[in-house]
Structures are given as structure tokens and as C-alpha cells.
């Protein structure tokens, strides 16, 4: 049997036990409080929301737009926050098009664990770039997603577009 080593998966798995035990804070609240944007993969800060790269991406360049307000409810967002989130999704789409030449995009929000939210107590919006032919047999046969570019390299490509 061949093995594909993906050490980042252990950090993802461990994050669930940390959150369940109450030892970890909310990264979407904590990360904007410190001035370590590159380390925390924050690409852009707005007035009501920010853009951050997903550390456990579905594809290279997987971004999230996150309001500063800690809420899990869509209806808790102010009109100004909602408008800025849509604006930042559009800005993210343009940056991903310009920096990575994406052919298409998946946009979405998972509300609650049952809907697939990895962090379900702080709402966040995903934008995942897609390319013609970017799927392969790995997710189908081996439940493995191959992400073709190292995240720091993708961060550097995207940062100049924000």
C-alpha cells in the first residue's frame, strides 16, 4: 500500500479536541487582535470583517471572509457588516483570478456542525478557487485531497492583490 504523508491533517484533527476541551480560544477572534498577519495568514483587514487563508484548504488559495463580531447567526450581522462581507468576497474573487488565474469559484457558508462547519460558533464565508481539470482520482478513491502549492507561497502571491 502506498501512503501519502499529510502532516497538516494531524493539526486539523487536534484542533477539534482542543476546542472540545475548552483549551483554545476562537481563532477568528484571537488572530485579528495580534499583529502577526502573515503568520496567521490574514490577507486583508476591513472595518467589519477580514480575509484569511484557510489553513486546511480544499484547494490552493482557499480563503475565508470573517466578521469581527463573534456570532454563529447570520441574522446577527449588521447591514454594514453584511455589505462589507459581500464586498470582500468580490475582492477575494478578483485577487484569486489575478494572482492564481482561477477559472471558477465555489462560495459558501456552513451554518452549524450538521452543515459541515469546522468552527461553528463564529460565522465565516468560504471562497474556493477552482480550475478546469483540478479534480483527480484521489478524493474519490482514497479520501485524500491533493493541494498543489505550499500555503506560504500562495499567501505571498495573494497578499500583493489585497
Q: How confident is the model at residue 56 (pLDDT cuts 50, 70, 90)?
A: confident
Mapped onto helix, strand or coil, the DSSP state of residue 51 is strand
Segment 119-130 shows an average pLDDT of 95
Under the banding of pLDDT at 50, 70 and 90, the label for residue 44 is very high
Q: Which helix (H) or strand (E) holds 127?
A: strand 125-130
pLDDT greater than 80 at residue 48: yes
Extract the C-alpha cell encoding 120.
Answer: 461553528
What are the residue ranges spanned by the domains of the chain? 8-159
Res 58: pLDDT: 84
Summarize the confidence of residues 38-67 as an average pLDDT: 95
Determine whether 161 is an active site residue: no
3-state secondary structure of 48: coil
Proportion of the chain above pLDDT 70, given as a percent: 77
Which residue out of 62, 103, 122, 124 is catalytically annotated? Answer: 124
Report the pLDDT value the prediction gives residue 21, as an integer from 0 to 100: 34
* Closest CA relative to residue 120, chosen from 72, 54, 63: 72
User: Stretch 95-105: mean pLDDT, rounded?
Assistant: 95
Architecture of domain 8-159: 2-Layer Sandwich (3.30)
Angle in degrees, CA 121, 115, 71, rounded to 5: 20
**Res. 1 pLDDT band, cuts 50 70 90:** very low
pLDDT band of 118, cuts 50, 70, 90: confident
117 vs 51, residue with greater confidence = 51
Assigned C-alpha cell, 33? 487582535
Cα distance between residue 24 and residue 137, in whole Å = 35
- Given a cut of 80, is residue 2 above it in pLDDT? no
Helix 79-100 and helix 151-159: axis angle, to 10°? 110
pLDDT higher than threshold 80 for residue 144? no
Amino acid at each position: 500500500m502506498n501512503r501519502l504523508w499529510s502532516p497538516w491533517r494531524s493539526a486539523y484533527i487536534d484542533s477539534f479536541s482542543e476546542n472540545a476541551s475548552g483549551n483554545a480560544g476562537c481563532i477568528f477572534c484571537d488572530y485579528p487582535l495580534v499583529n502577526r498577519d502573515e503568520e496567521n495568514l490574514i490577507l486583508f483587514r476591513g472595518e467589519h470583517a477580514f480575509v484569511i487563508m484557510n489553513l486546511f484548504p480544499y484547494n490552493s488559495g482557499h480563503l475565508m471572509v470573517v466578521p469581527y463580531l463573534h456570532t454563529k447567526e447570520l441574522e446577527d450581522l449588521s447591514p454594514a457588516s453584511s455589505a462589507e462581507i459581500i464586498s470582500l468576497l468580490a475582492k477575494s474573487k478578483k485577487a484569486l483570478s489575478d494572482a492564481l488565474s482561477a477559472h471558477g469559484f465555489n462560495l459558501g457558508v456552513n451554518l452549524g456542525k450538521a452543515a459541515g462547519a469546522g468552527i461553528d460558533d463564529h460565522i465565516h464565508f468560504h471562497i474556493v478557487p477552482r480550475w478546469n481539470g483540478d479534480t483527480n482520482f484521489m478524493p474519490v478513491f482514497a479520501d485524500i485531497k491533493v493541494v498543489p502549492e505550499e500555503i506560504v507561497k500562495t499567501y505571498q502571491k495573494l497578499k500583493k492583490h489585497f
